[in-house]
Amino acid sequence: PPWKFTKSHAEATIGREAFCDVSQEKTSRVRCVAQSQHHVAWDRTPQRVLVLAKRHADDEELDVAYRIARHLHEACGVDVLLADPLYEQIGKRLPAVELWQGEHVSRSPDFVATLGGDGLLLYANTLFQATPPPPVVAFGAGSLGFLAPFDVDDEQTGGTVEETLDEAVSLGEGELEPWPVSLRMRLRCRVVDGASGKVVGGHEALNEVALDRGNSPFLSAVECFCNDEHLTTAQADGLIVATPTGSTAYSLSAGGPMVHPSVNAMVFTPICAHSLSFRPIVFPDSCTLRFDVDPDARADAWVTFDGRSRVCLKRGDSLIVTASPHPLPTVLRLGNTADWFGGLRTHFNFNVRRRQQKIAEQFLNG
């Protein structure tokens, strides 16, 4: 054909590190497709592992956490770090363990083992804000979630905590297959002060960043931009930018779509938009979203990262959201699609035929 297509690279706007890009130069007649499955393998044997358990763990759960820490140390021969309060709770029984002192690139654990639900993963994410997070092997405590795919003692597959850990420290060794991993996109969120133009706050969010009206009656004069193109003046209770991981959490409650973890996208979901046309929008993760609070707005706005840390977005301030170059890698049990479908089944009753037939019954002759 007489034409050729070229592609300009994704460019940084807020001083982010050089992104790798989809660097096909000549695509002539053929489209690129989205990322597919990643895998993880060890370049060298892991030496340090951080163990986390949910904050209000009961005795039974503490026992499992103890099993994890002990096995890692005694059988796998790695150094074990415990964060508080777990260090307080089981540290005495494990003299060799170390207290986690916060993130340092030089002393970053080689992987993280967690015992708890999706909330614990949000907590784990807060521990690696300045450095690239290590892979996470997540055991569900009682309830399996989207982010914790491993059973403690899987009666079906016969896998125990100890067996899973044995495999985790040996990934890619000998005949072992590399494990499927999800490089979970994080949102790099920056709060920019209107007066000084300086970044005064920020977060690498795993689920979502949300703007809300706090105690004022609605979001006041928030201008929304994508790559500096003006989209709309938000008239709403709030705005959510979610990752695919977060698409099944808060954004879903606000009417957003469910987004498969392999899609390179950010979901922009308004909360109670005054205009009926203002619907959830899926943006590519290569774009920069910006939210300016008008200097003459009637009220300030509020920003919340993953439902926790909450900061005020004053009149004149901006919130800038891009894809972080540093994802949170979580080890998968079966793969992106199978693990995610498992989460849909657990949380949303997908594919449970009994219920569907019941609901359908009203349409049919009894």
The token pair that represents 250 in the structure block: 């808060």
Report the residue from 28, 101, 156, 196 that binds a copy of itself according to the rule CB under 8 A. Answer: 28
Report the residue from 190, 293, 305, 330 that binds a copy of itself according to the rule CB under 8 A. Answer: 190
Interface with a copy of itself includes 78 (CB under 8 A)? no
Binding mask 256-275 for a copy of itself (x = CB under 8 A): xxxxx-xxxx-x---xxxxx
Q: How near is the Cβ of 101 to a copy of itself at its closest, in Å?
A: 19
Q: Please name every residue paired with 89 in a beta bridge, in sequence order, or none if there are none.
A: none
Interface with a copy of itself includes 309 (CB under 8 A)? no
Report the residue from 83, 161, 252, 293 that binds a copy of itself according to the rule CB under 8 A. Answer: 252
For a copy of itself, the closer of residues 94 and 147 by Cβ is: 147
Q: How near is the Cβ of 143 to a copy of itself at its closest, in Å?
A: 6
Q: How near is the Cβ of 95 to a copy of itself at its closest, in Å?
A: 26
Q: For helices 59-70 and 161-168, what crossing angle results, to 10°?
A: 40
Q: Which stretch binds a copy of itself (CB under 8 A): 71-79, 84-92, 153-161, 347-355?
A: 347-355
Asked whether 138 and 161 are in contact (CB, 8 A), the reply is no
State the Cα–Cα distance between residues 72 and 115, nearest whole angstrom.
14
For a copy of itself, the closer of residues 30 and 95 by Cβ is: 30
The burial of 344, by beta-carbon neighbours within 10 Å (0-12 exposed, 13-18 middle, 19 or more buried), is given as middle
Residues 213-232, interacting with a copy of itself (CB under 8 A)? 214-215, 217-218, 226-232
The token pair that represents 345 in the structure block: 């089944």
Residues 29-48, interacting with a copy of itself (CB under 8 A)? 29-47
Report the residue from 100, 322, 332, 333 that binds a copy of itself according to the rule CB under 8 A. Answer: 322
Side chain identity at residue 351, one-letter code? N
Interface with a copy of itself includes 8 (CB under 8 A)? yes
The angle formed by the CA atoms of residues 19, 25 and 28, to the nearest 5 degrees, is 140
**Is residue 318 within a helix (H) or strand (E), and if so which, with residue range?**
strand 318-323
Binding mask 143-182 for a copy of itself (x = CB under 8 A): x-xx-------------------------------x--x-
The token pair that represents 55 in the structure block: 């904050």
Cα–Cα distance list, 95 to 14, 52, 87, 88 (Å): 45, 17, 11, 12
- DSSP designation for 132: P
Q: Is the peptide bond before 85 cis (omega within 30 degrees of 0)?
A: yes
Q: Which residues contact 314 (CB under 8 A, 6 or more apart)?
A: 193, 194, 293, 300
State the Cα–Cα distance between residues 356 and 41, nearest whole angstrom.
41
Q: How near is the Cβ of 166 to a copy of itself at its closest, in Å?
A: 17
Residues 80-139, interacting with a copy of itself (CB under 8 A)? 108, 110-111, 116-123, 132, 134-135
Interface with a copy of itself includes 293 (CB under 8 A)? no
Instruction: Choose the catalytic residue: 58, 59, 63, 118.
Output: 118
For residue 294, indicate whether it is catalytic. Answer: no
Which amino acids are annotated catalytic?
118
